[in-house]
């Protein structure tokens, strides 16, 4: 089955805390891609990152980092020193041109 699971429905943290959003995927494909999107209160989905299934190198971009582990089928996303502007719904997705999305994690960062 093709499936993306985001078990955390909602997370609340206080500003400057680190927070990790979990994503577990199931796929039949041998080559696939993993994505994270952010949906702020305004509603548009903003692309954050894409990883290839054959590249398990972790990535850091500013306060964001991603940990891809094929052995556990996980693609977790960490925000370091969270800010109020990080408050949004975050979606993990898997696929090639056609995606399966997780149900999203709502992150609330409190001042």
Partner 1 sequence: DVKVTQSSRYLVKRTGEKVFLECVQDMDHENMFWYRQDPGLGLRLIYFSYDVKMKEKGDIPEGYSVSREKKERFSLILESASTNQTSMYLCASVQSRGNQPQHFGDGTRLSIL
Of residues 45, 64, 67, 108, which one binds partner 1 by CB under 8 A?
45
Contact call for residues 90 and 102 (beta carbons, < 8 A): no
Contact call for residues 86 and 108 (beta carbons, < 8 A): no
Shortest reach from residue 100's CB to partner 1, in Å: 8
Q: In the stretch 72-101, what mask flags binding to partner 1 with x, by CB under 8 A?
A: -------------------x----xxxx-x
How far apart, in Å, are the Cα atoms of 66 and each of 41, 42, 57, 80, 104? 23, 24, 9, 11, 16
What totals of helices (H) and strands (E) does the chain contain, helices first?
0, 12
**35 binding partner 1? (CB under 8 A):** yes
- Tell me how many residues contact partner 1 (CB under 8 A): 21
**61 binding partner 1? (CB under 8 A):** no
Q: H or E stretch including 43?
A: none
Given the rule CB under 8 A, which residues bind partner 1? 6, 9, 33, 35, 37, 42-45, 47, 50, 52, 91, 96-99, 101-104
């Amino acid at each position: 089955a093709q499936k993306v699971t985001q078990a955390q429905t909602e997370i609340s943290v206080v500003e400057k805390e680190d927070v990790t959003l979990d994503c577990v995927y199931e796929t039949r494909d041998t080559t696939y891609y993993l994505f994270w999107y952010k949906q702020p209160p305004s509603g548009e989905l903003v692309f954050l990152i894409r990883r290839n299934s054959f590249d398990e190198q972790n990535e850091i971009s500013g306060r964001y980092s991603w940990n891809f582990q094929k052995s556990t089928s996980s693609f977790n996303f960490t925000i370091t020193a969270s800010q109020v502007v990080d408050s949004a719904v975050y979606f993990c997705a898997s696929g090639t041109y056609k995606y399966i999305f997780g149900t999203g994690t709502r992150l609330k960062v409190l001042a």
